[in-house]
Each structure stands twice: as C-alpha cells, then as structure tokens.
Amino acid sequence: METQTASGDTLAPWEDATAKPLISFRDVSKRFGGFTAVEALNLSIYKGEFFALLGPSGCGKTTLMRMLAGFEAPTTGSILLDGVDIAKVPPHKRAVNMMFQSYALFPHLTVAENIAFGLKRTAMAKADITARVEEMLKLVQLENFAARKPHQISGGQQQRVALARALARAPKLLLLDEPLAALDKKLRQETQFELVDIQEKTGTTFVIVTHDQEEAMTVATRIAVMDHGRLVQVDSPDRIYENPNSVYVADFIGDVNILRGRGRTRTDGKVEIVWADGQPGLVGTSDEPLDNAECALAIRPEKIAISSTRPVQDANALQGAVHDIAYLGNTSTYHVRLPNGQILKAQETNSRRISKRKYTWEEEVWLSWSETAGVVLTR
C-alpha cells in the first residue's frame, strides 16, 4: 500500500531528509537475563504510516511493540514519540493505544459500551462521548450492532469493535498485535483492506506486528523485516519483494528460487554466475562489482517462463523435467527438477479455462528468464 496526497502524488516522508519522525528508536537494546531480544536497533517511523514489523517467532518484533506500548522498558537506548523520550512514561499516560490479538472485549458490555469504555475514564462530557461512539460505529460500519453483546456478532465484527475502541481516544499511534490471526483466510483478506481504509480515513499512525508476509505486503507503507533482534531490511513492500538485500529477506518474503555459485562482473557490467558442473553460466545484474565471489541468484517463480522448446529471447535457459504440479486455480506452479537434482519453481497464470494440462509429470521442459529478472545477492 502507498500513502498518497490529495493530488495523487506518493507520500514517502522516509525519503525526505528534512521530515521529522513520529517514532524514533535510538540504539535500543532489550535483554532478558542473558538473552538479547533486541540489539542496538535504530528505526524511524513517520506520521500517517501503516508500518509493519515482520519476522518469524522470536525475532524481536513483539518486544519492540511492547516497548512502544510501555509494557517493557529498553535495557539501553531511547524511544522518542513526537520528540519526547517515553521510556519513563507509564502506558496509560502515553498517546498510544493497542489492539490485542484476542480483542479483549468485555463480554457483559454492548458494542457501544465497549467503545465508550476508555472515554468514560477521561474528562470528556457525556454528550461528547455519545457523539464519539457514534462516529466510531460509523467508521467501522457497525451502527446497527451498537446494542449487541460481543458473543452476538461475528469474529470480523468483534475485530472492528476492538479497532473502534482503540481509536476512540484519538491516539497518535495505534499498535496492532497480530490483529487478524483469529479470522479465516477470506475474511482476513477482506479485513486487511478495511484496516487500510480506516487508517487512511483517520490519519492515525498504525504499527502492526505480524508473521504473515501477505498481510504485511497488503497493508503496509513500509515493512521492517527482523531476524534475531536486528533489522535486516526496512523498505516499501515492492522494493523488499523486487530488491531484497539478502538471501534471508528474499527467502522470507514470498516464494523464490535460490541458485548459489560464484560470480564475476563482466566488461559489460553484467554478472556471470557459475553455479553447477555441466550447467551453463547464468547472467544477472548487481549493484556491486564481483570478482569470483560467492553469491546467490534469487528469481521469483512468476518471472520464470516455461516452454516445451528452447527459448531464444531470454539470456538464461535451463532444461529439466516436471517433478510436481501445484494447481491453485488462478495459477499453476511447476516444480522442475534440473539435471543436478535441484528443483526450480515456475509459475503460470491460468488466464483461460483449461481442460488439459499444458505440461505433465516427467515431461522435459525449458525454464528461462531475462538477465534482469533475478537479483544477485552477496549475503
């Protein structure tokens, strides 16, 4: 997702050297005894972003969120919110709210009462609370469910109640901890777009913790990929997918083929990779010169063409046999075994109804891709 101005121009404050971040992690580390959950981390998040912390279990993303919420304090370093160090500010006094994975709705209260709960603990007038609750109900499209109890509405509707309650006090920052994990896949996909729409309408900065790559790619303006308490890459979803900075990121985000070998930069600037005995060299591009250095070529399955005859237009072509086929309705993924035993995946869009497979098991096929389709990675 890209945040845009009213004129349609892409808004990317992280690319503006003069922009002031809403959140700044400065050399933040968090240790639990002898275990380091977050190590020397620096990160800036800007106002109006939908920012995703993405990584496997134990990577430190939840610890980062808990430090933002005030449930944990950094061992070293500082966390600034709007320029103010919030390390010693208690959770209830921060301009931060959190939406938990379990939603944590009060079962004995109605939808409207759940949304009003936090507001009643402020100095807001009763009439203003009623107006704010109505505004939140309209925002999440639950006006007709105000008098129902949580057990009388669906999981997706409960999720929206929790979101409305979290937004009711107009926090500067909303933290979302795996907010869609309890929903089935189809409802989760629908709700992702609802979250994006609500975030854009309110202008509130959202930070979401998730291990779901597709979810992060759908909702986020930027993604921070984490591993063992460190930031591996922080960038927009399209850049992380198309230009990963390491094999770890390429392999973690989406589906990818990895071919390892040694590469050298030719006089024309292209990189030639020697990767298997008896196999032709592969050609790719790299931002840094290589001199017989260890490297990997990462190619997404959808960028590989599959054909029954050797192609003439692409720089890279390998022959193999179809080992397996995954039919997913809109696409088919062919697992092709190369002569050295390695399996490559090629994906085709099923743009027409098919009564017969284009290729079948053990059939000899050619895989090909252009010299710019893959990314040469040195780490």
DSSP string, 124-135: --HHHHHHHHHH
Residue 6's pLDDT band, with cuts at 50, 70 and 90, is very low
Q: Report which secondary-structure segment, H or E, holds 376.
A: strand 375-377
For 272-331, write each residue's pLDDT tens digit: 899 888 888 898 888 788 888 899 999 999 999 999 988 887 789 999 999 999 988 888
Q: Kindly report, as residue ranges, where domains of CATH 2.40.50.140 are found in the chain.
A: 255-377
- Please provide the CATH number assigned to the domain covering 255-377: 2.40.50.140
Look at 84-88, 118-122, 262-266, 345-349 and tell me which has the smallest mean pLDDT: 118-122
Residue 284 — left, alpha, or beta (φ > 0 → left; ψ -120 to 50 → alpha)? beta
Confidence tier at 367 by pLDDT (50, 70, 90): very high
- Name the superfamily (CATH) of residues 13-95+171-247: P-loop containing nucleotide triphosphate hydrolases (3.40.50.300)
For helices 185-202 and 126-139, angle between their N-to-C axes, nearest 10 degrees = 130
Residue 2 pLDDT > 50, yes or no?
A: no
Q: What is the mean pLDDT of the chain?
A: 87
Query: Encoding tokens for residue 143?
Result: 């006006």
Residue ranges, comma separated, of all CATH 3.40.50.300 domains in the chain are 13-95+171-247
How far is it, in rounded angstroms, from Cα 308 to Cα 255? 23
pLDDT digits (tens, 9 = 90+) for 114-146: 999 888 888 888 898 899 889 889 888 888 999
Query: pTM score, two decimals?
Result: 0.85
The rounded percent of the chain whose pLDDT value lies above 90 is: 44
Instruction: Give SS3 for 78.
Output: strand
Q: Largest Cα–Cα distance in the chain?
A: 79
State the CB neighbour count (10 A cutoff) for residue 338.
17
| Mean pLDDT to the nearest integer, 22-31 | 94
Measured distance CA(78)–CA(88) in Å, rounded: 10
**CB neighbour class for 110 (10 Å; exposed up to 12, middle 13-18, buried from 19):** middle
Query: How high is the pLDDT of residue 11?
Result: 67
Q: Which amino acid is at 345?
A: K
Higher per-residue confidence, 278 vs 333:
333
pLDDT, tens digit, for every residue of 76-95? 999 999 999 998 888 888 88
